[in-house]
Amino acid sequence: MKILLGVTGGIAAYKALELTRLFIKAGHQVQVVMTTGAKEFIQPLSFQALSGHPVRDSLFDANQEAGMGHIELARWADQIVIAPASAETLAKLRMGRADDLLTTLCLATDRPVMLAPAMNRLMWRNAATQENVDVLKQRGLEILPPASGEQACGEVGEGRMPEPQAIFEAVMRAEKMRLQTQQAGSALKAFWHNKALLITAGPTYEDIDPVRFIGNRSSGKMGFAIAEVAAKAGASVTLIAGPVALPTPQGVKRIDVRSAQQMFAAVQQQVAAADCFISAAAVADFRVEQPASQKLKKRQDEEEMTLTLVKNPDIVAWVAAQDNKPFVVGFAAETNDVIDYAKDKLRRKKLDMICANQVGEGQGFERDDNALTLISATEQRGLALSGKREQALELLAFIAQQQSSVD
């Protein structure tokens, strides 16, 4: 791996020598960029001797630029590591400034950037620094939390740079994770590219009268996340959405419906073109037999009122019963005995796969995370709690696996 190591001004700068040695020993290439502050603490020559490359420290030095221009240097790196990262450098990165070589390189790169902040404990705790760290994290930079202990200034607290070995391991771990995600991504694309996915999401509303309805707590977030991830993987996605206020994921064709009957009609119209049907909607099992055409009035003499409900069509079971049916995936949202109910539904509705979803007690509905159990006739896989997009990725990978083993 080609590592661009940024060293900024701080007493921990000397530890960056050991970090350079660890990278080189493991067979990686290192080029070091120092800030003016860093050179107050340590000699560039030490880094040059260890890395085998002259140290870069200036944006405007014609000789240095003649060797390798700064944009070339930014392109050269697979990974940028700044250790130690001073409070000043964090602030400059947050602002997007480019008044020295290191910050310019960070602006001019799309490669991963990892920071190992090191500073006095009060500087670290300062709201300004913490805010800078939060913003940088949101932008996708990886920040290694500083260690606690005795500081060079004599104080004790959080702000020490993690040991070089710990930084080295964090860089290796990040690289391994990137490779894994890349591999999983290309496997997903290989399967889903040009596949037609039809998916339902959200609740249905069954009208009682023009102002009241029977609904449920499905947010639609799980189905929308699946639609988004599948579209990113190259699938052509049609999303039939119950009443939810979620933005349409990019590249997804959306059909809005309100009731189970409308959802059924839309599915009937679209299903012939689908290679896969995922029924993530929480479809109402019953609807009001005769919705009132005018708002029902409260009558003084009435202590009770009765609504007659009739059964809705079971959409997913209907799809699964078709000749030439697509690969059919259902959801089972339950508050108890989830896996047993899910397995029963898989058999009863003749689905190819079901996603068991524990709901209630702060789980499942109306949330951004989830923990599905994926069940097919031959396999069961429990997913760890994670964001709905991550769950969607695993789900789509599971479908790809199931279908590839059939083909």
- The reply to whether 224 sits near ligand C5P by the rule CB under 6 A is no
Identify the residue among 23, 331, 365, 398 touching ligand C5P (CB under 6 A). 331
- The reply to whether 100 sits near ligand C5P by the rule CB under 6 A is no
Binding-site size for ligand C5P (CB under 6 A) equals: 13
| Nearest to ligand C5P of 329, 393 (CB atom) | 329
Q: Which stretch binds ligand C5P (CB under 6 A): 105-113, 135-143, 328-336, 372-380?
A: 328-336
Q: Which stretch binds ligand C5P (CB under 6 A): 24-32, 47-55, 138-146, 329-337?
A: 329-337
- The reply to whether 283 sits near ligand C5P by the rule CB under 6 A is yes
- The reply to whether 345 sits near ligand C5P by the rule CB under 6 A is yes
Identify the residue among 61, 72, 285, 366 touching ligand C5P (CB under 6 A). 285
Identify the residue among 206, 314, 352, 394 touching ligand C5P (CB under 6 A). 314
- The reply to whether 312 sits near ligand C5P by the rule CB under 6 A is yes
Q: How far apart are the first and last CA of the chain?
A: 38
- The reply to whether 281 sits near ligand C5P by the rule CB under 6 A is yes
- The reply to whether 227 sits near ligand C5P by the rule CB under 6 A is no
- The reply to whether 201 sits near ligand C5P by the rule CB under 6 A is no
| Nearest to ligand C5P of 314, 352 (CB atom) | 314
| Nearest to ligand C5P of 50, 283 (CB atom) | 283
Q: Which stretch binds ligand C5P (CB under 6 A): 16-24, 159-167, 170-178, 277-285?
A: 277-285
- The reply to whether 260 sits near ligand C5P by the rule CB under 6 A is yes
Identify the residue among 279, 357, 358, 391 touching ligand C5P (CB under 6 A). 279
Decide the pairing of beta strands 276-279 and 196-201: parallel
Closest CA to 86 of 147, 154, 161: 161
Contact footprint for ligand C5P (CB under 6 A): 260, 279, 281, 283, 285, 312, 314-316, 330-332, 345
